Structure 1
């Protein structure tokens, strides 16, 4: 009877054990691959889009920038009449980037952006968003943090 259990040199118990082991390794591998895939996909939550006002007379001088930490926005003045707003929210996982000499740097995972917000290194999948600006009554501009425009989108202010 012992010979009937071993046809190819393995018993039925060994085959079931090996099959179970390979099945469990496959399930563990799929679980790990799923977790890795989820980790690699950005989960950016920008919160509720907000608009805020800036008096035109408070805008920076030509060639300078003004950072609004609470709104996570930098306002740049290109010429006497042109301004732009760039979001300071990293496009990787939503951390606030810091202004550095060469551009912007994310302290969370090391994404690097040039002065125009274009990705030059790190895990960030796209450039920092340029934001919409409107002139509103009362000598102010309105910056909309819920919009995303192409790079170098400057707006005319009088």
Structure 2
């Protein structure tokens, strides 16, 4: 008796094709999920901290002092005015580096001018300017948890 051929695919071919399409769908879903997460980053700046700087340690007029451990740069505008700018990139929270033209993020290439304004890269907003208070004992207090408008300088006594 002659064997008759079936029209269409065999059971084995259907299982193979179904598995292949299933794996491609899983790969596409994983890639889409990673892309979605990249487009909406979760930035964690850590616990806001306050730290003290003696007035005697302030930089000269026109100079800056970088506090790497606190991720802050302190800028002295005049004899009586200072400002603090956060060094935490607003894209994904990396610490930016001081460069000749301003600041640059080593992680994804965001670029900021000397005042922390975004001039290139994926960063969504400017570097935060931080609150400074005069405290007793000839010191100032920088609050890394309180942002102020750009260009906010504080009078030091």
Q: What is the TM-score of this pair, normalised by structure 2?
A: 0.83
Deviation at 1:116, TM superposition (A): 0.6
Q: Following TM superposition, by how much is the alpha carbon of 1:83 offset from its aligned partner in structure 2, in angstroms?
A: 1.1
Structure 1 CA distance for aligned equivalents of residues 95 and 15 of structure 2:
53
- Cα shift readout 1:122-146 (whole Å, capped 9, x = no counterpart): 2222211111111111121100111
* 4+ runs deviating over 6 angstroms: none
1:88 has 2:95 as partner: no
Change (3 A) 1:20 1:2: farther
- Which consecutive unaligned segments of at least 5 residues does structure 1 have? none
Matched residue, 1:11: 9
Q: How do 1:5-44 and structure 2 match up within 5 A? A: 6=7, 10-11=8-9, 13=11, 17-44=16-43
TM-score by length of 1: 0.83
What does 1:74-113 align with in structure 2 at a 5 Å threshold? 74-113=73-112
